[in-house]
């Protein structure tokens, strides 16, 4: 029976079985085939995924974002500009204002973010040009808002002027300053030849700068005002961004001894002239101490009512008047007193007088000579006046403070 079944090949269709097929048909699968089949299926799936991700990545383009956002019209000027990129890195960033200024900045380690080193200026339109690696530049624009309330600093001496060795750099602000440190940090005063210069606050509207001792003759002084957008008080911002220079001329220091009633003028350390003077009488003593010439008038009117002395005098043409204090102390020519007064009596209402002539035109008299030899910033020292030392903020007279006292008045 078995022979007939096996040998009758002509009666059955022809079948070819491989070893694998036969084993499968019998329900036996080789272990190697199972592992091989599973492995081949996973590789194909992962390869497809990688290909798909790679294709998607290649299709993405870097997208740049800017803060403040593109098109903003009243952007804040109290925060830095920030540029970021998605799906790429930044090759370069340039931020330019319509005033020609530029903002420098730094990238993070991954070069996906750029931040400006300083805040943008107020009231300025900016263009941001950011270029991702391997892509074209992308641009954005924004305009910062204008500040609300503002302040400025009025400085002495005038730009490009030449002054005496006692002239401080004095800045008077148009609005009270509450953040003194922020304002002082935005102002620098440097000197050539170099010397340490320190600021001192007299109240909340005045900041003076000086070195420890008088400036050296021939010094060049540079004042940098970087007050623009500095918040000096709540909601009050500075508007100045400028650099000015001043110069110091020859050294002239005059010493007035009101016991001897004499003024000795020294120029660069050598005696230049000696003049007889008349100071304040016992009821109107002259301030003592170091004073600096802050104003000069060939002729000026002097009224006692302006210094709290009622109607004691009103002289319309005082010759060769040079201001020493805000409160009204001058060194000036005097044509109405007897020539015998000078060098012998103190008869004034607090000023220092030198013999002069009406009209201020006589070059032979002491009043004319001293005025002609002087300049703003020259030092006048008063001794033996019977009065206390002048307050350092009464005029440009901060030299009456010691260096330690001066430094204590700095906000930095």
> What is the Cα–Cα distance from 91 to 135, expressed in whole angstroms?
9
Query: Quick one: pLDDT at residue 46?
Result: 54
CATH of 149-249, one of 2.60.40.3710, 3.40.50.2000, 2.60.40.1120, 3.40.50.300: 2.60.40.3710
User: Comparing C-alpha atoms, which of 275, 319, 284 is closest to residue 300?
Assistant: 319
The verdict on domain 63-143 having CATH code 2.60.40.3780 is: yes
How many Cα atoms are found within 13 Å in the side-chain-facing hemisphere of 302? 27
Q: Where in the chain is the domain with CATH 2.60.40.3780?
A: 63-143
Q: Where in the chain is the domain with CATH 2.40.440.10?
A: 252-395
pLDDT along the chain (412 residues), means of 10: 38 41 39 35 51 56 96 96 97 96 97 97 97 96 96 98 98 98 98 98 98 98 98 97 97 98 98 98 96 98 86 90 97 96 96 98 98 98 97 98 98 98
Dihedral angle, C-alpha 323, 328, 329, 330, nearest 10 °:
40
Q: What positions carry a catalytic annotation?
A: 332, 351
Contact status, residue 249 vs residue 219, Cβ threshold 8 Å: no
Query: Quick one: pLDDT at residue 56?
Result: 53
> What is the Cα–Cα distance from 170 to 312, expressed in whole angstroms?
33
Query: Quick one: pLDDT at residue 383?
Result: 98
Enumerate helices (H) and strands (E) in the chain, giving the number of each: 6, 28
296 burial (CB, 10 Å; 0-12 / 13-18 / 19+) is: middle
Contact status, residue 370 vs residue 331, Cβ threshold 8 Å: yes
* DSSP tag of 24: H
Query: Quick one: pLDDT at residue 162?
Result: 98
The verdict on domain 252-395 having CATH code 2.40.440.10 is: yes
Query: Quick one: pLDDT at residue 125?
Result: 98
Q: Where in the chain is the domain with CATH 2.60.40.3710?
A: 149-249
Contact status, residue 147 vs residue 239, Cβ threshold 8 Å: yes
Contact status, residue 268 vs residue 250, Cβ threshold 8 Å: yes
């Amino acid at each position: 029976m078995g022979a007939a079944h096996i040998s009758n090949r002509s009666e059955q269709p022809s079948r070819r079985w491989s070893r694998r097929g036969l084993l499968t048909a019998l329900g036996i699968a080789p272990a190697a085939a199972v592992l091989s089949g599973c492995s081949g299926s996973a590789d194909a799936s992962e390869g497809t995924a990688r290909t798909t991700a790679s294709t998607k990545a290649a299709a993405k383009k870097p997208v740049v974002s800017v803060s403040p956002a593109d098109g903003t019209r009243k952007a804040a000027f109290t925060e830095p500009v920030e540029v970021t990129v998605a799906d790429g890195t930044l090759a370069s960033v340039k931020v330019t204002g319509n005033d020609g200024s530029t903002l420098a900045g730094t990238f993070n380690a991954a070069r996906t973010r750029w931040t400006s080193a300083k805040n943008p200026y107020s009231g300025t339109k900016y263009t941001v040009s950011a270029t991702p690696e391997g892509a074209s530049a992308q641009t954005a624009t924004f305009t910062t808002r204008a500040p609300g309330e503002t302040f400025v600093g009025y400085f002495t001496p005038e730009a490009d002027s030449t002054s005496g060795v006692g002239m401080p750099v004095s800045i008077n602000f148009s609005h009270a300053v509450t953040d003194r440190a922020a304002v002082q940090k935005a102002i620098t005063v440097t000197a050539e030849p170099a010397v340490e210069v320190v600021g001192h606050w007299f109240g909340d509207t005045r900041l003076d700068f000086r070195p420890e001792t008088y400036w050296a003759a021939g010094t060049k002084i540079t004042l940098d005002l970087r007050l623009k957008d500095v918040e000096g008080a709540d909601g009050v911002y500075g508007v100045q961004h400028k650099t000015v220079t001043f110069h110091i001329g020859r050294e002239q220091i005059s010493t007035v001894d009101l016991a001897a009633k004499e003024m000795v003028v020294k120029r660069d350390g050598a005696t230049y002239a000696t003049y007889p003077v008349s100071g304040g009488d016992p009821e109107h003593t002259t301030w003592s101490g170091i004073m600096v010439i802050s104003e000069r008038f060939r002729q000026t009117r002097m009224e006692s009512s302006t210094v709290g002395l009622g109607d004691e005098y009103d002289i319309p043409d005082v010759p060769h008047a040079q201001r020493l204090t805000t409160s009204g102390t001058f060194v000036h020519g005097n044509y109405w007193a007897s020539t015998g007064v000078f060098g012998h009596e103190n008869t004034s209402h607090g000023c220092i007088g030198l013999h002069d002539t009406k009209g201020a035109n006589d070059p032979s008299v002491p009043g004319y000579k001293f005025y002609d030899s002087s300049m703003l910033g020259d030092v006048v020292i008063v001794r033996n006046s019977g009065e206390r030392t002048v307050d350092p903020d009464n005029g440009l007279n901060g030299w009456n403070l010691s260096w330690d006292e001066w430094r204590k008045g700095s906000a930095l």
